[in-house]
């Protein structure tokens, strides 16, 4: 019979105070917290994305002083017996529960981070009151009510040593060209030592999955991830109460949680089928149907042309930024200031790539579901 395993944490403590429960860097030499058989269920208790640095009394000034070294505290890893490089790991999300003792969540805008970081340079925080598995409300966003739509924001496996080195080199090359990439950094790393020096930061998604921020990864989803290291070493954390299809400011509604996952191993399938990145599927709506395809919405669009009229051609990133900036202007017409509007885009607005073929201008739409307003 399948067994059930629980990885418990003390939510009053940061990960560094309980290093046996998790990690905040990806590395092939992480020690597993528990070993399980395929078919077993693991219940992960998870910390919030900033590892307890914020609380219901935190201010924008506190956000400006955040230490990004501990981001993200992940629970795990779990060693899945029989998993080997070239296999395909199947992860079924059975349930996600908000911490029943903590009815608080937050959305923050951290200077230097987020999709519109050049436009929004001041720290900001929204405190959310979480009404169980029903909805979230905030005094900082009056008139807004967001339905519960939890998802696995961060879920990933350990890399092989070879893949870790490849990722480190290619991200260093991005940084050397003036791009935004975070190299290995031991400051705030758990565990310490060589893993702290060499481990990959948890900020971006990669071949091992990782920080995905896909709101469709809600309970009922099946995730397929190629295995690069014996035992797979599966970790999760950074769970969101709700989020838009963009997480524009860099955070959704962040919360602590309990995540129920079940694992299966498909021998050699990743290698045989040439699967190198995450795939996922489901057989039901990822949220209530009226939220999955909103009946009522207001949309703005953006094309890949700068505000001064310049075009580099086929620029989907600029198109997405313009769609969001246009939505922020619209929310200003509804009475929200720019930081409120940016946060609301992050937790509720869906970016849609509307077309990529009508050169030179790619088109992105930003959809605002109107039923969030009460």
- What are the residue ranges of CATH 3.10.28.20 in the chain? 295-372
β-pairing, 135-137 vs 124-131, is: antiparallel
The answer to whether the pTM exceeds 0.85 is yes
Please determine, for residue 350, whether its predicted confidence score (pLDDT) is greater than 90: yes
Please determine, for residue 290, whether its predicted confidence score (pLDDT) is greater than 90: no
Backbone angles phi, psi at 78, to 5 degrees: -105, 130
- Percent of the chain whose predicted confidence (pLDDT) is above 90: 95
pLDDT at 312: 86
Residue carrying the six token digits 């040439």: 274
pLDDT at 292: 87
| 8 A C-beta contact, residue 158 and residue 229 | yes
Mean pLDDT, to the nearest integer, of 338-348? 98
Please determine, for residue 2, whether its predicted confidence score (pLDDT) is greater than 90: no
- What are the residue ranges of CATH 2.60.120.580 in the chain? 4-289
| 8 A C-beta contact, residue 158 and residue 232 | yes
Closest CA to 48 of 125, 144, 157: 125
Evaluate whether the domain defined by 4-289 bears CATH number 2.60.120.580: yes
pLDDT digits (tens, 9 = 90+) for 108-130: 999 999 999 999 999 999 999 99
pLDDT at 187: 98
Please determine, for residue 262, whether its predicted confidence score (pLDDT) is greater than 90: yes
pLDDT digits (tens, 9 = 90+) for 27-86: 999 999 999 999 999 999 999 999 999 999 999 999 999 999 999 999 999 999 999 999
Q: Which two tokens stand for residue 316?
A: 């989907």
As a CATH number, domain 295-372 is 3.10.28.20
Does the bond joining 72 to the residue before it have cis omega, within 30 degrees of 0?
yes
Q: What is the mean pLDDT of the chain?
A: 97
Q: How confident is the model at residue 163 (pLDDT cuts 50, 70, 90)?
A: very high
Closest CA to 101 of 261, 241, 255, 243: 255
Q: How many CB atoms lie within 10 A of CB 243?
A: 26
Mean pLDDT, to the nearest integer, of 336-355? 98
Q: End-to-end CA distance of the chain: give it in Å, rounded.
A: 48
Please determine, for residue 275, whether its predicted confidence score (pLDDT) is greater than 90: yes
Handedness of CA 207, 210, 215, 218 (dihedral sign): positive
Q: How confident is the model at residue 102 (pLDDT cuts 50, 70, 90)?
A: confident
Q: How confident is the model at residue 244 (pLDDT cuts 50, 70, 90)?
A: very high
Q: How confident is the model at residue 1 (pLDDT cuts 50, 70, 90)?
A: confident
Rounded to whole angstroms, the Cα distance separating 183 from 115 reads: 19
Buried b (16+ CB within 10 A) or exposed e, 144-183: bebbbbbbbbbbbbbbbeebbeebbeebeeeeeeeeebee
Please determine, for residue 302, whether its predicted confidence score (pLDDT) is greater than 90: yes
- Which contacts (CB < 8 Å, 24+ apart) does range 128-136 have? 128/104, 128/241, 128/253, 129/103, 129/104, 130/98, 130/102, 130/103, 130/104, 130/105, 130/241, 130/253, 130/255, 131/103, 132/98, 132/100, 132/103, 133/97, 133/98, 136/105, 136/241, 136/242, 136/253
Please determine, for residue 100, whether its predicted confidence score (pLDDT) is greater than 90: no
């Amino acid at each position: 019979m399948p067994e059930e395993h629980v990885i418990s944490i003390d939510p009053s403590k940061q990960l560094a105070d309980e290093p046996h429960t998790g990690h905040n860097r990806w590395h092939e030499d992480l020690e597993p917290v528990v070993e399980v058989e395929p078919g077993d269920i693991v219940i992960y208790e998870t910390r919030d994305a900033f590892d307890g640095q914020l609380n219901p009394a935190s201010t924008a000034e506190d956000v400006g002083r955040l230490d990004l070294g501990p981001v993200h505290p992940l629970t795990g890893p779990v060693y899945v017996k029989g998993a080997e490089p070239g296999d395909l790991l199947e992860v079924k999300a059975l349930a996600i529960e908000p911490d029943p003792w903590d009815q608080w969540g937050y959305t923050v805008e951290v200077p230097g981070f987020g999709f519109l970081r050049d436009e929004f340079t001041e720290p900001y925080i929204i405190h959310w009151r979480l009404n169980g598995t029903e909805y979230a409300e905030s005094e900082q966003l009056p008139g807004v009510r967001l339905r519960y739509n939890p998802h696995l924001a961060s879920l990933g496996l350990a890399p092989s040593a070879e893949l870790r080195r490849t990722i480190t080199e290619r991200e260093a090359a991005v940084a050397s060209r003036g791009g935004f990439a975070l190299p290995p950094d031991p400051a705030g790393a758990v565990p310490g030592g060589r893993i702290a020096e060499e481990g990959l930061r948890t900020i971006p998604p990669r071949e091992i999955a990782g920080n995905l921020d896909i709101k469709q990864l809600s309970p009922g989803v099946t995730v397929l991830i190629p295995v690069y290291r014996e035992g797979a070493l599966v970790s999760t954390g950074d769970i969101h109460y709700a989020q838009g299809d963009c997480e524009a400011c860099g955070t959704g509604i962040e919360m602590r949680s309990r995540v129920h996952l079940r694992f299966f191993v498909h021998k050699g399938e990743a290698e045989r089928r040439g699967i190198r990145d995450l795939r996922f599927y489901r057989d039901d709506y990822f949220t209530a149907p009226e939220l999955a395809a909103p009946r009522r919405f207001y949309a703005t669009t953006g094309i890949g042309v700068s505000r001064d009229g310049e075009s580099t051609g086929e620029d989907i990133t600029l198109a997405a930024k313009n769609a969001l900036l246009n939505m922020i202007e619209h929310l200003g017409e509804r009475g929200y200031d720019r930081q409120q509007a940016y946060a609301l885009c992050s937790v509720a607005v869906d970016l849609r790539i509307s077309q990529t073929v009508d050169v030179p201008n790619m088109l992105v739409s930003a959809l605002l579901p109107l039923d969030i307003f009460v």
